Structure 1
Amino acid sequence: MNAVVKKIESRTSRAQNLLEEQVGNELNASQQYLACAVWFDQRDLPRLAAYFYRQSVRKRNHAMRVVQYMIDKNVAVEIPDVQAVRNVFSDPRELIALALEQERAVTEEVTTLSRSLREESDYLGEQFMRWFLSEQVDEVAQMTTMLNITDRSQGNMFDLEDYLKRDPVGDNRYESTAPHTAGGKL
């Protein structure tokens, strides 16, 4: 008896290539958040460390959501290399400013991908990306608030630690409508 093997299609469109690039973008963001978390953890700032550890996992899950979508569409997936991350910072503000710039960059990447899907009349792909667009609005807003609070604290990171205790950010409000995650959500 011959086993039927599912045929996996090679990527044939710009949008499909951008999907794979987005996997790499999200994994890069995950690794950078992990480096930030470790930096805060080593300096006995547990709430900041926990926040950035969670962000690392969230970005990993975002990458795996894109992977699952590509698997569901029978599109070939190759996991891209992860770029080197920044590990050396002179003060906590640098980490939060870097995280904000990273979220802005991811927003641009998601927007470009969504635009490409629309231009290719890939309505299913465009629908899939709507969750990511909403998520990015929230991610940029959260990181902007954290940077504002950091600036107001004038270097006292315990003010930011207190803020995270009182008003935890990253409450996963979009999780109930999130696309499935390849391998399961961490």
Structure 2
Amino acid sequence: MTATRFTDQLNEQIGHEFAAHQQYVACAVHYDALTMPQMAAFFYAQAMEERSHAMMMVRFLLDTDAPVQIPGVAAPQSTFADVVEPVALALAQERRVTEQIHALTRTAREENDFAAEQFMQWFIKEQVEEVATMSDLLTVVTRAKDIEAVEDWVAREHGGEAEDPTAPPVAGA
């Protein structure tokens, strides 16, 4: 049985993941409105990835007979001053999620919940990738002289990424 303290935190994290989904949709819409299709597609994909993370957590709770509570989320920031602000916000969000993932892993370890700790390992790896990606993207959008350079970089560096076969199962998939 999954530890109650871990279950409570994971249910809270489901809300954080859905909030990240909404925030990335808002970022994508911003870029879509600026006719930046590569950036829009990148953030739409990021949004779906965050939703999948939430649903992986739901699946884990269901598989371990733990209660699932889907929390509500606050409205995301939907207006941005320029092309840099959404990426800076995304990097800050990914750093915050990394701290949350580490706290969940710490709780699983403290509770001797080996299945929960093992489940969290994939998310630790994922957060290293997410922070690195957003950090690189922030560097590119900050130094780029024009929108085409940003679009070209995103198309070159983030087009056609394959699914991770080691990812936990997604509820409803």
- Shorter-chain TM-score bucket reads over 0.9
1:182 matched to 2:168: no
1:129 matched to 2:120: yes
Paired position in structure 2 for 1:19:
10
Q: Distance in 2 between matches of 1:170 and 1:106?
A: 25
Which sections of structure 1, spanning at least 5 residues, go unmatched? 1-8
Which sections of structure 2, spanning at least 5 residues, go unmatched? none
Q: TM-score, normalization: structure 2?
A: 0.95
C-alpha RMSD over aligned residues? 1.5
Which digits, 9 at most, give the CA deviation of each residue in 1:27-77, with x for residues without a partner? 000000000001100110000000000000000000000000000001110
Paired position in structure 2 for 1:79:
70
Instruction: Give 1:162's match in structure 2, choosing from 127, 131, 152.
Output: 152
The residue type equivalent to 1:165 in the other structure is A
User: Judging changes above 3 Å, is the alpha-carbon distance between structure 1 residues 17 and 177 closer, same or farther for their aligned structure 2 residues?
Assistant: same
Higher CA-based Rg:
1
3-state SS of the aligned residue for 2:73? Answer: coil
Which digits, 9 at most, give the CA deviation of each residue in 1:73-98, with x for residues without a partner? 01110100011100111101000000
Q: Which runs of 4+ in 1 moved over 3 A?
A: none
Q: Distance in 2 between matches of 1:76 and 1:157?
A: 46
Matched length: 173
Q: TM-score, normalization: structure 1?
A: 0.89
Q: Distance in 1 between matches of 2:152 and 2:18?
A: 29
User: Does the CA-based 8 Å contact 2:3-2:113 persist in structure 1?
Assistant: no
3-state SS of the aligned residue for 2:55? Answer: helix
User: Does the CA-based 8 Å contact 2:28-2:41 persist in structure 1?
Assistant: yes
Paired position in structure 1 for 2:142:
151
User: Judging changes above 3 Å, is the alpha-carbon distance between structure 1 residues 170 and 101 closer, same or farther for their aligned structure 2 residues?
Assistant: farther
User: Does the CA-based 8 Å contact 2:7-2:67 persist in structure 1?
Assistant: no
Q: Distance in 2 between matches of 1:69 and 1:170?
A: 28
C-alpha displacement at 1:13, in angstroms? 2.1
Q: Distance in 2 between matches of 1:56 and 1:39?
A: 13
Q: Distance in 2 between matches of 1:141 and 1:171?
A: 15
